[in-house]
Structures are given as C-alpha cells and as structure tokens.
Structure 1
Amino acid sequence: MLFVSTRGQVEKVSSAHAIKEGLAGDGGLFVPQSFPYLSQETILGMHALPYEQCAAKILGCFLTDYSAEELAECTAAAYSSEKFGEDPAPLRKVAERTDVLELWHGPTMAFKDIALQILPHLMTKAQEKTGSDIRIVILVATSGDTGKAALEGFADVPGTEIIVFYPEDGVSQVQKLQMVTQAGSNTKVFGILGNFDDAQRGVKEIFGDAELGNELKECGWTFSSANSINWGRLVPQITYYFKAYADAVANERIQFGENIIFSVPTGNFGDILAGYYAKKMGLPVKHFICASNSNNVLSDFINTGVYNKNRTLNKTVSPSMDILVSSNLERLLFDLTENDAIQVAEWMKQLNTEGTYQVSKDVADRVRELFFGAWIDEQETVDTIGRVHNDFEYLIDPHTAVAWRAAEKYRLLSSDDSYIVVLSTASPYKFCSTVLEGIGKAAGLDETDPFAAAHKLAEETETLIPPQVTALETMPVLHKNVIAAGEMAQNIKETLGIKG
C-alpha cells in the first residue's frame, strides 16, 4: 500500500518511507491511499487472540512492505507481558451501559505506550527497508504523556537520538519527573518557556527548515517524529478499537452488528481519529464523542464548522489535552473532502496565517454526523472523579473523567441509551492530587510532594501504587535544561554536535 500527503505536493511513498520520514516534505501528513474492510469473522476472532496478534493483523493491512513475520516480531516485542501485563487494553464493566477501555497498563502508565512501544521496532525496520544508513533524530513535542512514552520506547535504540520538548509549567509533577529522570545515552529532554502549541509549532518549523535539514544530512542525521503526525504512531491505535468491540460482544455487553459509541478524551485528535479509521474499516460505530477540557477548540469546531485557535490556552487538571492546534484533524478533513489536498492545504495555510478557518457546509454537516463535541470545565472534571468513585468504586484520572462526563452529556442531550465505551488514557496515579481532590481526600496534602499524594491515594482507596511511581522517588534528575521556544533548533544542533 502506498501513502499520500494530505497536501498533495509530494510523491506517493511506501509505508516504510512514511514511518521513517514522519512528516511529509510539503508539511502534510501521510495517509494510506485506501482502507481495507474487515469481515465479521475477523473482528469477532480478535477476542480469542492475544493482543499482539490482533495488532499484527491491523498493521498488516497498511504496512504491506513489512512481512507477516516482521510484524509478528515487532508486536511480540512491543506487547510482552513484562511491559503490559496480561492485557494491554482490558475492557472493564463500570456502569449498566458504559464500559471503560483501560489503555494505561504499559511502562509509562499512559495510552501512548501502546503506539510508542512498537514504533521504534517499526522505525528500525523502516531504516533497513529503505536502504538507509543515516541516523534518525526523533523530535517530540509533548503535552505530558507522549514525551515519556517516546523516551521509554527509543532509549538506547541504535541509530537514533530522541529529543523531547515539554512545556515547563504545563505538565503534572509525575509527568515531568518521568521525563527528566529518563536514562539512555541517546535521550535529551528540554523544558520550554511556553505551552504545548509553542513546542508543536517549533517542531513543525524545524521539520520544514531545509537549511537545517541539509546541515543534519551532511553530518549523517535526518529528522523523524514520534508524535501522532507519524503514521507509524497512529496506526497501532486502531487495534484497540476492534479489540474492545470484540471483547464487548464476547462479554455479552452487545450483539455483533450493534452500533456503539466511543467517548475519547481528545487533544491532538490522533486517538479519536484511529477510531474513525476503524469505523471506515467496518467497525460498527454510531458516534464518537470528542471530549475536550476548557481548551474547547475541537468541540467548538464540531458544533460550528469554524476552527479558531485565537484564544488563550488554559492550564488545566487534564494537561495532556491542553492543546489549541490539533494536528490530526488535517487527516480527517482530507478524508471528508474526498482527498482534496488543495482545499486542505488552503485551510492549513489560513490556520497558520490567520489562526482560523471555516470548512464547507457539506464537511461541517458530515463532521456533526460522526462526532458529538462536548467540553468539560475544571470543577466538572473533579466532581466526575468523585461521583464515579462513589457510585461504582472505580478510580479514574482527570482525562478519563472528561470523557466520562462528556458521555453523560451526550446521553442527556440525545436520550440515547446506546452502549458507550469510555477510553481511559492514563493511570489515576499520574494525577494523584487531582484524584484526591475529586474523592474528597485532599485535606492537608502537601501539593509540592507528588509522592506524598501517591501514598495518600493508595491508603484512602486501598489500591497499590504502580511500581513506576515508586521508582521515581529515588531516580536522579538527568535533564535540567529549560529554554525559550525560539531556541529549540539551536539546542538540537548543540545536542547533535553540529556547529554554527
């Protein structure tokens, strides 16, 4: 299968090239030329298969220049029980018509692990397939979880250097500690004086800097990305939508063919887009609930057809969603315009120059058919954590709370009692203080000590502190650099030993 750019100005490439390059040369995102359709038998059969075999099936639909044996090798290495336990994506029954898909059982306690544990394996094989001996510099802008998951996946991978940029004051204490304590001879982490959008914009500008690219090439390096702009990062996420549906049928929560709803906490639009692609491949989905926090640019877009980033970015208790430029929306627009790269490029140009664009009525109507947009404020988020714990004895993090409350709003407004799967994207132990506030146990808590919060949460809820959190207490801080957003390119050159 070949891949095209959403902006239409580069040649078609193989999946290996798309993964290695990350971002297309014209600034667009790579998408497959077509989407396969999975049979009922294939979908239902995923319940009985180990997760790594399900993943190999989905990857094999798109990464056609990888052999079945290579994909089996990649998925077995990525989704081992040592990294994810018995099941990387268990479906939990919580309420009568609502289940939760837990996606945080990997090494960094976030859903990003499911993609970023396999991406280094796909990237390494992509290097071999494209006949390239050039070394890869993985650039990552993170709003909290992607950074650590990428660092964990790429640490000490031969032929790579990984450089992560995060907003210095825009992540949780645990998220920050996970990044700045990361070991690995090829890892580098920078806090930036700005927000996630500043980091993401900086990375995109660096990708588009031809002069810098040539300097790197002369020194034997090339850029690639571990953000969800990279198809190799996005495609693994399709798997858990199919697996969740198959598990729901097997658990007698639904019958096959019943259209269900997924509620997804959404920032950069990658996770929910993977679900949309699953629907294109035959998964019976009625709607996707696009759940935003008070940075509600996406819910506004869904409801009005106008994308407008010209607003203040709010710092929230769900920091991984503190985003105003949702990069993967470009892929959706490309699909809904029937691959009109000229129109998509024009909208992206308007976003870059004016901070806003308005899609056509046909596209806006189609977006509203597919997606329900709702946003949840800070107090609602905290209150939802408490209600879910009190009503169901189930503990959720702030991002999952946003998705849960958005699902409740959908039911209230639509009177639709369809079965809903809420995607849980992070462990409650990554946001202990907020979770304690939600369950009414934050009194007397030292807000400056994330480990005190973790111990208190364990005591109050009779749950176990994940070993990943316990280990952080004694790990040394290895990355202390904080830079201005405009200094990103210079620091990349210094990291790689490039003069000038």
Structure 2
Amino acid sequence: MLFVSTRGQTGKVSAAHAIKEGLAGDGGLFVPQSFPYFSLETILGMHALPYEQFAAKILSYFLTDYTADELTECAAAAYAAGKFGPDPAPLRKVGERTDVLELWHGPTMAFKDIALQILPHLMTKAQEKTGSDTRIVILAATSGDTGKAALEGFEDVPGTEIIVFYPENGVSPVQKLQMVTQPGKNTKVFGIRGNFDDAQRGVKDIFSDESLENELKDCGWVFSSANSINWGRLAPQITYYFKAYADAVASERIKPGERIIFAVPTGNFGDILAGYYAKKMGLPVKQFICASNSNNVLTDFVNTGVYDKNRVLNKTVSPSMDILVSSNLERLLFDLTENDAAQVAAWMKQLNTVGKYQVSKDVAEQVRELFFAAWIDEQETVDAIGRVHNDFEYLIDPHTAVAWRAAEKYRLLSGDDSYIVVLSTASPFKFCKTVLEGIGKAAGLNENDPFEAAHRLAEETESTVPAQVTALESMPILHKDVIAAEEMAQYIKKTLEIIK
C-alpha cells in the first residue's frame, strides 16, 4: 500500500515513510491510495479476536510494508492488559437504543491512548524500515488529551524527543497536571499564551520551515508528528468502530447487517474520520452525528458547505473540542472530490489566506448525506451529564455529554429510532468539577483544588478515584515554561541544544 498527499505535490511513499514523516512535504496529509473492503462475514468473524489481534488485522491492510509478526508485536505491546485492562474499548449498554463505546481505559484516561500507545512502536519500526539513522523529534499540539497520551507513549523511547505545546489556559486542571508532571529524559512540555489553533498553526508552520528542517538535519534530527495528521495515529482508531459493531451484534443489540449510527464528539475531525473510513471499508453505518460544542465551525460547515474559521474561539467545559481549524477534514474532502488534490490545495490555501472556503454543491450534498451536525452549549452539556446519571446511573464526561445530547437532537428532529453508539472519549475524572455540576454536587467546591473535586465525585457516585489521578497529587511539576506561539521554533532548538 502506497500513500499520497492530499495536496498532490509529493511522490508516493510507503506506510513507514508516511508514519515517520507525519506530514507530507507539500503541507498535505498522507492518505492510502486505496481502501480494503470487508464483507459482513469478515467483520463479524473478527469478534472472537483479542483486541490486539483485531487491531493488527485492520492495520495489516494499510501498513503492508510491516510484517504480520511486526504488527502483532506492536499491538501486543500497546494493548497489554496492564495498560488497558481486559478490553480497551468496551461497549456499554446505557439506553434502550443507545450504547456507549468507552475509549478511556488506557493510561491517560482518554481515547487518544488507543492510537498513541501503538504509534511509538510503529514509529520505531518505520525508522528501521526506511534505513534512517536520524533521531525523531515528535511535535504535538494538544487541546488537552493528545499531549499527555503522546508523552506517555513516547517517554524514553530511544532515538526520539517528544515536545508538546498546549494552550496555557485552555485545558482542564487534571489535563494540565498530567502534562506538566510528565517524567522522561526525552520529554518537554510548553504552555502557549494563546489557544489550541495557535499551537496547531505553529506546529504546521514548523513542519513547513525548510530552513529549520535543514538546520535540524545537520544535527541529526528529523520532525514527525503525534497529532492525528499522522496516518500512524489515525489508522488505529478505525479498529474500534469495527469492534463496536461486532460487539453489538454479539450482544444482540442489533441484527447482523443492520445499519447503525455513531455519535462522535468532534474537534479536529480525526476520530469521526476514522469512522468514515470504517464505513468506506464496509461497516454498515447509516450516518455519523458530528457533535460540536459552541465552537461550531463544523456544524456550520456540514449544514452550509462553508468552512469559516473567522470567529471567536470559545473556552468551554469540553476543552478538547475547542478548535476552529479541523485538520483532518482535508482528508475527507480529498476523498469526496475523488482525490482532486488541486481543488483541496486551493481550499486549504483559501483557509490560510482569508480564513474560509466554500466547497462545491456536489461535495456539500455528500457531506450532508454522511453527517448530521449539531452543536451543544454549556448548559446543555452540564444538563446532559445530570440527565444520563439520573436516568441510567451512568457517569459521562463533558465531551461524551456533547455527543449524547447531539444524539438526542438527532432523534427529535429525524424521528429515527436507529441504534446509536455514542463515543465516550474521556473519563469523567478528567473533568470532575463539570461532572459534579451536572449531578448537582458541586456546591462549596474549592475550584483551585482538582483533587478535592475528584474525591468528592468518587464519594458521591460510590466509585473510586482512578490511580492515574491520585498519583498526580504527589508528583512534582517538571515543566514550567509558558511561551508565545511565535517562540515555538526557538524553544525547539533550545530543547535539542541546537542553540543555547
């Protein structure tokens, strides 16, 4: 399987090259030249496989320059029971026709673990396969969860340096503590005076800076990415869509072949894009619910065909979705235009220069057929947390609440009673204060003490504070730097000791 850029100005590359490089040289995103197609029999037949074997099988169709043994080894190391428990992606029955896919059972309590626990293993083997003796600088901009998951995955991986940039005032207290206490000889974390889009734009600018790239190469370094712009980060996410469907059939929640709906809390469009690719590969999906918070740029795009980032970025209780530039949408547009790289490049140029673009009527119609889009405000989010807890004795975090409420809106507007799987992307214990507000137990809470909130949440819900949270209470702050977005390249060079 070879990979091409969504902007069409680079040659075809192997999977190993795509994973090692992260972003294409022309600024585009790598996509496979073709997609496999699975029969229903094949999909249901995978249900008996342990998760790591399920993942290795899916990946084998894309990473064809990796051997079956190599993929099995990577997946076994990534999804060991000691990291995820017996099932990395359990499907929980919650409502009559609504289930929740829990994707937060990994070491950092977020769905990003499922991809970022395997990416370092794929990256290490990519180095070997491409015959490269350079060291890799992993760059990640994060709106909350990617940063910690990337740091955890790449901690002390030989031949790598992992540098994470996050909005200083744009993540939850637990998310911030998880990053700034991260150990590892090769880890570095910087707060950015700005928002996630500033950090993401800075990383993309660094990738396209030829002078900096050459400077690093002379010192034996090469850039790569841990964000979902990297195909090695996106591909593992396809697995859990297939697994959720097979689990739903096995538990008799649906009939074999029944088309279902996935409701996905959406910011950078990576998670929902993985679902779209699963549908393209044969998964019986009726529609996707693209759920946004008040940063509703994707909702507007789906409903109008116009992508316009020229708006204020709102700081919300679902911070991992506080994004105005959804990078992975570029991959969807490439697919819907039948790989028209020139058109995609033109739209992305418009986005960079004037902050907006409008897709063709045909593409807009395809988008509306595939996706139902809704945005959820702050009060709706908090109310959804309380309602789900009261009605089903089930606890959800704010991002999951956005998807849950969007699914409710879909049912109300469409009258469709189809089976819906809501993707739960983070543990409620990463957002304790908001969850406590939702269940009506936040009165008198010390907002400056995230651990008080965690212990109260556990007490009120008769649960246990996760070990990942209690460990933070005694961990020292190791990363204290807060910088301007325009200083990112300078601090990268200082970190790598290229400049003193």
- After TM superposition, the score normalised by the length of structure 2 is 1.00
CA–CA separation in structure 2 for the residues paired with 1:288 and 1:58:
21
Q: Residue in 1 aligned with 2:101?
A: 101
Alpha-carbon distance, 1:47 to partner:
1.8
Which sits farther off after the overlay, 35-44 or 265-274?
A: 35-44
Q: Residue in 2 aligned with 1:196?
A: 196
Counterpart secondary structure, 1:124: helix
1:74 is the counterpart of 2:67: no
- Aligned pairs for 1:127-276 (under 5 A) are 127-276=127-276
Q: Please give the per-residue CA displacement for 1:420-475, whole angstroms capped at 9, x wherever unaligned.
A: 00000000000000000000000010000000000000000001110000000000
CA–CA separation in structure 1 for the residues paired with 2:186 and 2:42:
40
CA–CA separation in structure 2 for the residues paired with 1:361 and 1:409:
26
Alpha-carbon distance, 1:310 to partner:
0.1
CA–CA separation in structure 2 for the residues paired with 1:311 and 1:240:
34
The amino acid across from 2:373 in the alignment is G
Alpha-carbon distance, 1:499 to partner:
2.4
The amino acid across from 1:348 in the alignment is M
1:45 is the counterpart of 2:41: no
The amino acid across from 1:295 in the alignment is N
CA–CA separation in structure 1 for the residues paired with 2:50 and 2:425:
21
CA–CA separation in structure 2 for the residues paired with 1:107 and 1:172:
17
Counterpart secondary structure, 2:291: strand
The amino acid across from 1:474 in the alignment is S
CA–CA separation in structure 2 for the residues paired with 1:433 and 1:342:
46
Q: Residue in 2 aligned with 1:62?
A: 62
Q: Residue in 2 aligned with 1:474?
A: 474
The amino acid across from 1:168 in the alignment is E
Q: Please give the per-residue CA displacement for 1:181-212, whole angstroms capped at 9, x wherever unaligned.
A: 00000000000000000000000000000000
Alpha-carbon distance, 1:20 to partner:
0.1
Alpha-carbon distance, 1:48 to partner:
1.2
Q: Residue in 2 aligned with 1:329?
A: 329
Alpha-carbon distance, 1:240 to partner:
0.0
CA–CA separation in structure 2 for the residues paired with 1:308 and 1:407:
24
CA–CA separation in structure 2 for the residues paired with 1:273 and 1:192:
27
Q: Residue in 1 aligned with 2:297?
A: 297
Alpha-carbon distance, 1:33 to partner:
0.2
Alpha-carbon distance, 1:325 to partner:
0.0
CA–CA separation in structure 1 for the residues paired with 2:458 and 2:253:
31
CA–CA separation in structure 2 for the residues paired with 1:372 and 1:61:
29
Counterpart secondary structure, 1:264: strand
Counterpart secondary structure, 1:190: strand
Alpha-carbon distance, 1:46 to partner:
2.2
CA–CA separation in structure 1 for the residues paired with 2:286 and 2:464:
37
Alpha-carbon distance, 1:49 to partner:
1.0
Q: Residue in 2 aligned with 1:372?
A: 372
Q: Please give the per-residue CA displacement for 1:226-260, whole angstroms capped at 9, x wherever unaligned.
A: 00000000000000000000000000000111000
CA–CA separation in structure 2 for the residues paired with 1:192 and 1:100:
34
CA–CA separation in structure 1 for the residues paired with 2:93 and 2:2:
39
Gaps of 5+ in 1: none
CA–CA separation in structure 2 for the residues paired with 1:303 and 1:31:
26
The amino acid across from 1:482 in the alignment is V
CA–CA separation in structure 1 for the residues paired with 2:361 and 2:256:
34
Q: Please give the per-residue CA displacement for 1:121-167, whole angstroms capped at 9, x wherever unaligned.
A: 00000000000010000000000000000000000000000000000
CA–CA separation in structure 1 for the residues paired with 2:139 and 2:263:
29
Counterpart secondary structure, 1:62: coil
* Number of equivalences: 500
CA–CA separation in structure 2 for the residues paired with 1:45 and 1:463:
35
Q: Please give the per-residue CA displacement for 1:406-427, whole angstroms capped at 9, x wherever unaligned.
A: 0000000000000000000000
1:435 is the counterpart of 2:431: no
The amino acid across from 1:269 in the alignment is F
Q: Please give the per-residue CA displacement for 1:41-97, whole angstroms capped at 9, x wherever unaligned.
A: 221022211100000010001000000000000000000000000100000000000
The amino acid across from 2:223 in the alignment is F
CA–CA separation in structure 1 for the residues paired with 2:39 and 2:391:
38
The amino acid across from 1:472 in the alignment is L
Q: Residue in 2 aligned with 1:310?
A: 310
CA–CA separation in structure 1 for the residues paired with 2:412 and 2:356:
31
Counterpart secondary structure, 2:94: strand
Counterpart secondary structure, 2:403: helix
Q: Residue in 2 aligned with 1:125?
A: 125
- After TM superposition, the score normalised by the length of structure 1 is 1.00
Alpha-carbon distance, 1:39 to partner:
1.8
Counterpart secondary structure, 1:443: coil
The amino acid across from 1:490 in the alignment is Q
Q: Residue in 1 aligned with 2:12?
A: 12
Counterpart secondary structure, 1:136: strand
CA–CA separation in structure 2 for the residues paired with 1:223 and 1:41:
41
The amino acid across from 2:352 in the alignment is N
CA–CA separation in structure 2 for the residues paired with 1:445 and 1:416:
40
CA–CA separation in structure 1 for the residues paired with 2:484 and 2:471:
30
Q: Residue in 1 aligned with 2:116?
A: 116
The amino acid across from 1:11 in the alignment is G
The ranges of structure 1 where at least 4 consecutive aligned residues each deviate by more than 6 angstroms after the TM superposition are: none
- Aligned pairs for 1:420-499 (under 5 A) are 420-499=420-499
CA–CA separation in structure 2 for the residues paired with 1:486 and 1:173:
25
- Aligned pairs for 1:346-365 (under 5 A) are 346-365=346-365
